[in-house]
């Protein structure tokens, strides 16, 4: 991908990420560390839960989504971090063997009021599985350097 | 903690979590996996960044915050998962050696419109460090079983 600076985050532009397949082991490892609820860490309990089987922690889905966006290269040269996320919604379960990729659309872009070297790009993330189902959506706000 | 069911998530109630100290190794391990931006994975690059040193990925802070809440026991018997998070704001950097704990306040509680066995508790998380600084706030929406 050619270098992406603040000026390149034009409203409506879409970025597409690579894909990643989520394994049983990935789900268990993340959840044991950060979200050890029965339906994330115990296949038997998960089978008897309303989710009828093991599902990934939603926090894991957020982390994978952002990693995929980094892997797209869009933040490779100009990212200065982020101040927040909004409207995270988990819409479908992520199960072992699912393959996720992300469509990231620029929904707003404004220069920083206080720092002339940067702007703020607001990005709508839509994470989809191998059946084209949207499993998660969220909006993130990214500090991005202006083109030097 | 005594069992906590939907009826126990009364607006204004506060839960306090245990604390966790975040190490260099924790920060690097999470960030290499999910958020390998220079200021999260490379101490030298981080020192030259606007953050003037290594900081934890904000996604790591979300995950630690939720884990601490689970460790409080408030979701031990009645959690049915979550549909989303809102208004995540990273307010101060989290650095190696910082000790985090969380204050979780019930800001809304309503019965499910479609499922009589549960309600939805909306919770405001405030993650604080060892100096009493608020490093992150967010609102989460939790499905919680009613008392049997």
Contact B85 A83 (CB under 8 A): no
| Mean pLDDT score, A44-72 | 96
Whether B113 contacts chain A with CB within 8 A: no
Whether A1 shows a pLDDT value over 90: the answer reads no
Which ipTM did the prediction report? 0.97
Contact B34 A67 (CB under 8 A): yes
Task: Give the pLDDT score at B1.
Answer: 86
Task: Give the pLDDT score at B75.
Answer: 97
Q: How close A136 comes to chain B (CA, Å)?
A: 9
Q: Residue A10, by phi and psi: left (phi above 0), alpha (psi -120 to 50) or beta?
A: beta
CA atoms of B47 and B31, how far apart (whole Å) = 16
Q: What is the mean pLDDT of chain B?
A: 97
Contact B63 A35 (CB under 8 A): yes
């Amino acid at each position: 991908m050619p270098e992406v600076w603040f000026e390149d985050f034009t409203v409506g532009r879409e970025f597409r990420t690579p894909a990643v397949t989520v394994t049983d082991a990935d789900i268990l490892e993340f959840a044991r560390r950060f979200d050890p609820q029965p339906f994330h860490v115990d296949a038997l309990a998960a089978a008897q839960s309303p989710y009828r089987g093991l599902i990934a922690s939603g926090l894991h889905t957020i982390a994978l989504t952002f990693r995929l966006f980094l892997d797209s290269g869009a933040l490779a040269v100009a990212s200065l971090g982020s101040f927040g996320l909004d409207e995270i919604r988990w819409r479908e379960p992520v199960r072992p063997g699912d393959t996720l990729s992300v469509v990231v659309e620029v929904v707003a872009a404004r220069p920083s009021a206080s720092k002339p070297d940067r702007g703020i790009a607001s990005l709508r993330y839509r994470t989809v599985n191998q059946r084209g189902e949207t499993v998660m959506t969220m909006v993130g706000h990214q500090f991005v350097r202006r083109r030097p």
